[in-house]
Structure 1
């Protein structure tokens, strides 16, 4: 058959990113457990794609520390390493501090209302002990200053290291220390609304820096 000349091409970058995020989320939420072997062919069948985006995604996951790749042998989900989790947490905290510092003066009333709404959802999720919903709401709240800051390098760093922190939270804790997080969220929104750049940035840093990891309670 003749090949159509005017058909839109598939955005390979979007496919690659989608595969990466699907695999990353499966590791973070525990679908793939630490030590579990990941086979290209099985993953390709599961996601309905070729092996190429799978291999590219596994390489990115290796760089993020979520899998351990042994060329020519096997790829396995990495175990939780306390030092790596602490390092990732500190990097994430620093990036959120920078995002808030850059975003405060540009936040609109709609942005602030969206942060308040996300915190309301976070509060309900904590009361119901729904960790997945709490994490989604938390990501939404903190994602607003990140979006407003519009720093692509900062967003890329968060995309790489936040899953490491989230994975530890899901696998280790039955709660998020949610009451303390709620209070910090309230402080963050209040300070952002008041235009207090320094104090808002400090709260953003503390919110992430004080998250417990594995042995820390």
Structure 2
């Protein structure tokens, strides 16, 4: 098996595509949900995006978990497995390279540390959200996406699943695994430069990682001036 790098960004995009294919738009006017501390209202504006009104943040989180599971369960399950390095549980050997990489990064371990350091208020919200997801799991069959995988049950949702998934999304919005390749490349340039008598860092920046200072090419006339951009011309 080839040791192939996997970009977490591509894994998230796959999850979004899967969700788009299986997203259900069926809406029940009234639903009895066990687990709420008080009655909650779910409002559907013209956009059909549900809005939860409840008497506590715990109930809001619970209903959000329930609704997310109703509309996006397979996407949620798939991405939590990506974040925790457990994709192979769904797709077999094809997911091992991804699992090794994501377990090495350690989103699940980081999620555990964050949960232990979180305030009790935050833990209540995380637990309530997980309870909402699990309330849906207990009262409904798995969506059609699981039929091809021959699965009739999945693990319960946990607060760590939520935190690990948040960390995966934050990572893909802030980092790129190509940085690892750049680190190796600049190290090579520096070592060769020391041996051959030239500045390896400067050559790397000129040859592979070129950048230029910002200029005034913007699509909104006067934008830079409005934010003090005239300093760029000094």
TM-score by length of 2: 0.26
Kindly indicate whether structure 1 or structure 2 has the higher relative contact order, using CA contacts under 8 Å at least 6 residues apart. Answer: 1
Greater percentage in helix: 1
TM-score by length of 1: 0.27
